[in-house]
Amino acid sequence: MSRRALRRLRGEQRGQEPLEPGALQFVLRDDDDAEEEGPKRGPGGRRPGGSGKEGVQVNNRFELINVEDLEDDPVVNGEKSDCVLTDAAVSGNKGKIQRGNPETKREGNVAKAAPLEQSNASGKLRKKKKKQKNKKNSTGEASESGMEDIDRILERIEDGSGLSRPGPPPLSSRKHVLYVEHRHLNPDTELKRYFGARAVLGEQRPRQRQRVYPKCTWLTTPKSTWPRYSKPGLSMRLLESKKGLSFFAFEHSEEYQQAQHKFLVAVESMEPNNIVVLLQTSPYHVDSLLQLSDACRFQEDQEMARDLIERALYSMECAFHPLFSLTSGTCRLDYRRPENRSFYLALYKQMSFLEKRGCPRTALEFCKLILSLEPDEDPLCMLLLVDHLALRARNYEYLIRLFQEWEAHRNLSQLPNFAFSVPLAYFLLSQQTDLPQHELSSAREKASLLIQQALTMFPGVLMPLLEYCSVRPDASVSNHRFFGPDAEISQPPALTQLVSLYLGRSHFLWKEPATMSWLEENVREVLQAVDAGDPAVEACENRRKMLYQRAPRNIHRHVILSEIREAVAALPPDVTTQSVMGFDPLPPLDTIYSYVRPERLSPVSHGNTVALFFRSLLPNYTVEGERPEEGVPGGLNHNQGLNRLMLAVRDMMANFHFNDLEAPREDNPEGEGDWD
């Protein structure tokens, strides 16, 4: 029982009890107790009053008394009680009272001898437990504060110079434009802001205690419903490092290669159940998980499709090289290697699920991660999507910064999505009320200038955009030759495809009344410039004819993955006539193969026409000595296939009756057309 409880039982108040020489034993400890309990540290990790191996050195002996009183007092709403101040005041006057009243001191020793012995025994145990809890709490608080500063620590570690700068600039200016933040890769972080931590993590906490997995991952959170993880034979190696960049590549072991061959056979069979059978033996085969996820998504099972993608990401993250970093923006994966494509596609599909789930901020981080793996080639053409996610996440500053830094060498203004999204970001930024007035006016002027340039360069965007937003334009706009039907018809097919992709994805961002009125003002300004014969109008027309002759392969790949109907309908025939696989859509023409799939023996190669005929009637038929097809259960040899074929023919002949045939009529002696 604590001293405060004893005072309440006796009906005494703080400061009225007599003091004795042993009263300070609650605070001061001998060396043996200090060794058993360990040095006491403050919240900052330092010993109060000094540090050293000799013991606790205190200049003010009442300093530790205040700390002990803090431990005894209850906590109310995360704060200590106000009575701690009175304890400090009373303890500061103890010395004067003891020197001035010796009789009271002796009476107090006799009256409180027994209670103090009991309270000392129980109080020491209780204080030891509290000290251990306080040590754990201080450690937990330190770890939480360390997690908040992990981005700064990683940035200092990954700095090539390794020198501390005397006056570092702000953190936002030192980050790379493709820098990925770990905390934004977790969708729960974004959902907590919308619905609260209790609604998001309420059902997950008991499950996490029972889960045992080999490592903690950033891209996804393992689930207890997943199969037990075992290394599937997937690994990553470092190819080379040059000019501050590190080039990596995934590798398949022999066991994983055999699973890959079986997967290709299962895909050729066009039967999803064969992929399910393969996943029972290889539960973390990435391509099988991606292909089965598409099958589940087509069957409207979105939850299972997302779960399979997360399992594929977990399998690949467990195979990361120790030097591979998700956040630095200096790690590269060559898309020409088939082993690396699975990681690209898994990230893209996870990003799509996050956007549909209502987590655009997390989807933006995944988009930056995909773009950072190969920003020059951009195999999935993420530049057509990053602006949309930035606007949905209301991260206008990032979109403007990306445009300013990459416009010089990437010509982002020549893409319709950037040409219209950047001025929209400036306009939405000017609508905020927490910025100074001069910044708001500057953003509004910049937005008007850029949207007029976009309308001049891409006049075929206006009328479809107004149609998507269910807005009927004025007759002066719809009948004008610049924005009329000719503007949409005369643009090149590649440009039509880009415009359809942008409008099908981002048209709803323009539906606000304030945005539409701002757009109307700038449309009238553009029409006045066109009627006045502005030379910029003709220059933009010549540029449209010279550019956009044919879209590159990465844009076609992006359109296929986006599944936007208007954009898919605008694909050229040479792309639509190809067979597109979900696990590898439109592979690069210069693919780098690390291993080759073994050739499968076919009946045609042996010149066995009879076997080919039997195979056409019985798909499971195999020639004697030939192994059954992988992925096909069972298989028949030559004799078994011949016997089954004869039985089938016998059954067919037994059910066939010649009386069913009609005799030829007189007007049709040849009997043409009389066979049923």
What are 88-140's pLDDT values in tens digits? Answer: 444 444 444 444 444 444 444 444 444 444 445 455 555 555 555 555 555 54
DSSP type of residue 553: H
Instruction: Identify any residues that bridge with 250 across adjacent strands, giving them in sequence order.
Output: 236
Q: How far is 467 from 470, CA to CA, in rounded Å? A: 5
Prediction pTM value: 0.66
Q: Give yes or no for residue 522 having a pLDDT over 90.
A: yes
pLDDT on residue 617: 52
pLDDT at position 197: 73
**In this structure, are residues 345 and 360 in contact, taking their beta carbons and an 8 Å threshold?**
no
Give the helix/strand (H/E) hosting 604.
helix 603-606
pLDDT (average), residues 16-27: 47
Three-class DSSP labels, 31-80: HHHHHHHCCCCCCCCCCCCCCCCCCCCCCCCCHHHHHHHHHHCCEECCEE
Rounded Cα distance, 191 and 549, in Å: 43
Q: Closest Cα to residue 130, out of 37, 9, 50?
A: 37
Residue type, 283: P
Model pLDDT, residue 270: 84
pLDDT at 320 over 50: yes
- Beta carbons of 64 and 58 less than 8 angstroms apart: yes
| Percentage of the chain modeled with pLDDT above 70 | 60
Instruction: Look at strands 245-252 and 79-80 and give their pairing.
Output: unpaired
Query: CA end-to-end span of the chain, whole Å?
Result: 103
Strands 245-252 and 331-333: parallel
DSSP for residue 584 = B
Confidence category of residue 651, pLDDT binned at 50, 70, 90: low
Least confident stretch, 27-31, 320-324, 516-520, 559-563: 27-31
- DSSP secondary structure letter of residue 185: G
Task: State pLDDT tens for residues 369-424.
Answer: 999 999 999 999 999 999 999 999 999 999 999 999 999 999 999 999 999 999 99
d(CA 292, CA 278) in angstroms, rounded, equals 11
What is the average per-residue pLDDT within 531-552?
Answer: 91
Q: Quote the pLDDT of residue 133.
A: 52
Q: Looking at residue 626, what DSSP letter applies?
A: P
Q: Which residues have C-beta within 8 Å of that of residue 165, sequence separation ≥ 6?
A: none
Residue 184 confidence class, pLDDT cut points 50, 70, 90: confident
- Rounded to whole angstroms, the Cα distance separating 308 from 306 reads 5
Question: What's the farthest any 2 CA atoms get from each other in the chain?
Answer: 147
CA atoms within 13 A on the CB side of 340: 24
Cβ-Cβ contacts under 8 Å for 32 (sequence gap 6 or more) = none
Model confidence at 597, pLDDT cuts 50, 70, 90, reads confident
